[in-house]
Amino acid sequence: MDPKFAKLVEHLAPKYEALVAMQPVRNGAIPAKMSGIYMFSTPVEHLYVGRANDLRNRYKNHCGGTSNHAAFAFKLARIETGNIKATYVAGKGSRKWLMEQPAFVAAFTNAKALIRTLEYRYVEEADPNRQALLEIYCTIVSGAKHNDFENH
């Protein structure tokens, strides 16, 4: 393995262990302006892993943001309403169209409320390369069921 890459990945397992060992917190306990990886979980399964340059702000967006800022809630609403396949063409099925459908808006609102009840953990990681690798590592190792790395 290339030594530069090996240096980046040697921190993945210990950071993951720190993430899952952390006591879950609520919004007020999230440090301001901290970069890193975060995870939403229930007591029995890990649901979603993400990364952010401001963990507190990203948490707020997941719990109360618009359809463009609350990606996890939007995904949960897609699942709830059966609108699984994303489309990037204007019209039926688009993000804008979905946000005009009362049933979808209700599911999106409920998803944001659900996210506020989930366990939230984080681990600091400021280096953007390690952060990207750590997000993928944590997603795969944890089995977070609502992440994907498909190209759109």
84: Cβ–Cβ under 8 A, 6 or more apart, which residues? Answer: 78
Asked whether residue 150 is assigned to any structural domain, the reply reads: no
Per-residue pLDDT averaged across 77-92, rounded?
Answer: 86
The whole model's pTM is what? Answer: 0.91
**Does residue 147 belong to any structural domain of this protein?**
no
Question: d(Cα 126, Cα 65) in Å, to the nearest integer?
Answer: 24
Residue range 7-41, pLDDT digits in tens? 989 999 999 999 999 999 976 688 888 999 999 99
Q: Each residue of 46-59: pLDDT tens digit?
A: 999 999 999 999 99
Helix (H, G, I), strand (E, B) or coil at 128: helix
42 found inside a domain: yes
Q: Mean pLDDT score of the chain, rounded to an integer?
A: 92
Q: Tell me, yes or no, whether 127 lies in a domain.
A: yes
> What is the average per-residue pLDDT within 124-145?
96
CB 142 within 8 A of CB 39: yes
Range of the domain at 22: 3-142
At residue 94, the pLDDT reads: 86
Residue 13 placed within a domain: yes
Q: Which amino acid is at 42?
A: T
Q: Is the per-residue pLDDT at 151 higher than 70?
A: no
Answer whether residue 62 is part of any domain.
yes
- What is the rounded CA–CA span in Å between residue 61 and residue 57? 6
**How far is residue 134's CA from residue 149's CA, in Å, rounded to a whole number?**
13
Domain count, the chain: 1
Q: What is residue 117's predicted lDDT score, i.e. its pLDDT?
A: 93
Instruction: Work out the pLDDT band at 68, boundaries 50, 70, 90.
Output: confident
